Chain A
């Protein structure tokens, strides 16, 4: 069977984007273009009472639709995210808005749809005019309400046009859109804009459907009814695939189904090597709804909960009560397993809210650097995480640490927060564990010294490789130099594992590398205690661990540490899989 690289090399029908939710689907494209509703500007042709009755009818219909969406959203996304639909419902009952519209229909004798459009657009103009970023989002949300009423006035029913089990393609999806497509059993989502935390991505992940976002131009390149393959593992889409591509992916899908069935059986089995070395297999979580997936896939807790998405979700920094609620909820749901919550890693590409205009954001004010500059904000988060730690299953992790001073200062702040809480008689876990992300080369080199300061080290491979190889993997000119298996990377990982252990810290890895089954024997072999991967990768990683012999894995690591090129390393590992008859879920993830 040809590899994916081979397939891609000969393809000119491919669209690339961000792999926002894993999975593979084949299906017909449903290109969802935001309806440009034709507004009738004419004088009323019917009498006024009839026009007002029509308007009331449209309001009722919109109310019913939104209520359904609200109910469905609560079930799928939880109360907090669904709250925006409640406000939308209230708009339909807004006495001032509705009163004005009715008065204007009477006075101006124009079509209700014209008045609705004009009246609601006035509010949107005000929102667009505000300087706050979230007001623009709010204006877009209201667009949904406006169009819904107008559509119902025109008695158009666009839902009936959505084919079942389609792959939805759009420039952008509103929360209401996404929920509706879910009801039509959409099998995948592709959007021009958006990132990992866009609505389409979040819902796709919680439903186990593939999503590719940030494609720039998918909705113009793809036509309605085009046959598509969506690969949410790699963030690629094939338009009207040729025979080769089809064959390749149908085999993969069949294979993936088989694997999923097999892997399901692994759920309750331990991640343990054939000679009894237990590996702590944990999950990385972006959004709270993924936590259910963590449990069903059989992870032993959450090794990394990224909190940045909360800011995006709230459009601002959530206050202490809001944060306590989120963290406590997660800690409760994962109990008795443990969750490691990482402080806001803001900066770089993570959150656009703070437009610092840095020439080089990846080398700029991000992670702990940003947090120590904004201490009050940092404190609110630490207090919230402490308050969520009452069941003793919450750890705290600090991103982008590069100096010992940074971690010392962080510990001081944690102490201050603990003292405050004690004074306020608020409970927390007194033995709350603190760790750091090792993702800057300076921290990697000084692992032993950092390990003396903290309870655990967690290696973030994505950034570590980027900084170590001095390569931006988003930059096509140099992305080939982003080599996970480069000997310098392997040696650095081994150094961190060995040095960390010297100070009795637990050493784990939470980067994407750990989800690559090829890397698993090596990571186990260099002595890492725990691996944290995306929930969907848990079963395949577990299967690899269970097929491994730890002693042999150590020898493999020894051998790889002497190599001088990535090719040698990968060939050695591939040979290891073959020699030891370990099945690889190759190219599936």
Chain B
């Protein structure tokens, strides 16, 4: 299992479109993926779960990946979040 913490850098925060993209990216991998923030611990493959995260610009998400393809999965998802959802 690997863990990492990423910061939301977008002005708009984690709005609906990137939430959907994160879930789409996560579903490509076999590993399990969880996001924690402010005591909420949600499955990153669940869109309704990701949508319950109110993540403003500057807030931090704690990500855990567990499984065979955890490394690649972490690279892509953490990169997508830290890179500003390809919107910057």
A binds B: yes
Nearest CB on A from B69, distance (A) = 17
A1 in contact (CB, < 8 A): no
Q: Is the CB of B20 within 8 A of A87?
A: yes
The interface-forming segment of A209-217, A310-318, A509-517 is A310-318
Q: How many A-B residue pairs lie within 8 Å, measured between CB atoms?
A: 74
Q: Provide the A65-93 mask, 1 if CB < 8 A to any CB of B, else 0.
A: 00000000000000000011011001100
Nearest CB on A from B53, distance (A) = 9
> How many of chain B's residues touch chain A, expressed as a range?
20 to 34
Q: Provide the B34-73 mask, 1 if CB < 8 A to any CB of A, else 0.
A: 0000001001011111011010100000000000000000
Chain B 1-56 residues near chain A, CB threshold 8 A: 10-13, 15-17, 19-20, 23-24, 27, 40, 43, 45-49, 51-52, 54, 56
Q: Provide the A305-331 mask, 1 if CB < 8 A to any CB of B, else 0.
A: 000000000111111111000000000
Contact of B12 among A97, A138, A317 (CB under 8 A): A317
Closest to B51 in A: A138
Contact of A319 among B12, B40, B43 (CB under 8 A): B12
Knowing A83-B16, A126-B40 touch, does A321 contact B48 (C-beta < 8 A)?
no
Q: Is the CB of A126 within 8 A of B52?
A: yes
A356 in contact (CB, < 8 A): no
Residues of A within 8 A of B49 (CB): 94, 96-97, 123
The interface-forming segment of A127-135, A279-287, A465-473, A580-588 is A127-135
Q: Is the CB of B46 within 8 A of A96?
A: yes
A142 in contact (CB, < 8 A): yes
Q: How many residues of A contact B (CB 8 A)?
A: 31
CA distance A77 to B82 in the complex (A): 31
Q: Is the contact region of chain A dominated by helix, strand, or loop, or is it mixed?
A: helix
Q: Is the CB of B47 within 8 A of A91?
A: yes
Contact of A87 among B27, B51, B52 (CB under 8 A): B51
Question: Chain B interface (Cβ within 8 Å of chain A)?
Answer: 10-13, 15-17, 19-20, 23-24, 27, 40, 43, 45-49, 51-52, 54, 56, 87-88
Selected A-B contacts with CB under 8 Å, 22 pairs? A83-B20, A84-B16, A87-B47, A91-B47, A94-B46, A94-B47, A94-B49, A95-B45, A96-B49, A120-B48, A123-B51, A126-B40, A134-B15, A314-B15, A316-B11, A319-B10, A319-B12, A319-B87, A319-B88, A320-B88, A321-B88, A322-B87
Extra 7 A-B pairs, beta carbons < 8 Å, given A314-B12, A318-B11? A83-B16, A87-B47, A87-B51, A94-B46, A319-B10, A321-B87, A380-B11
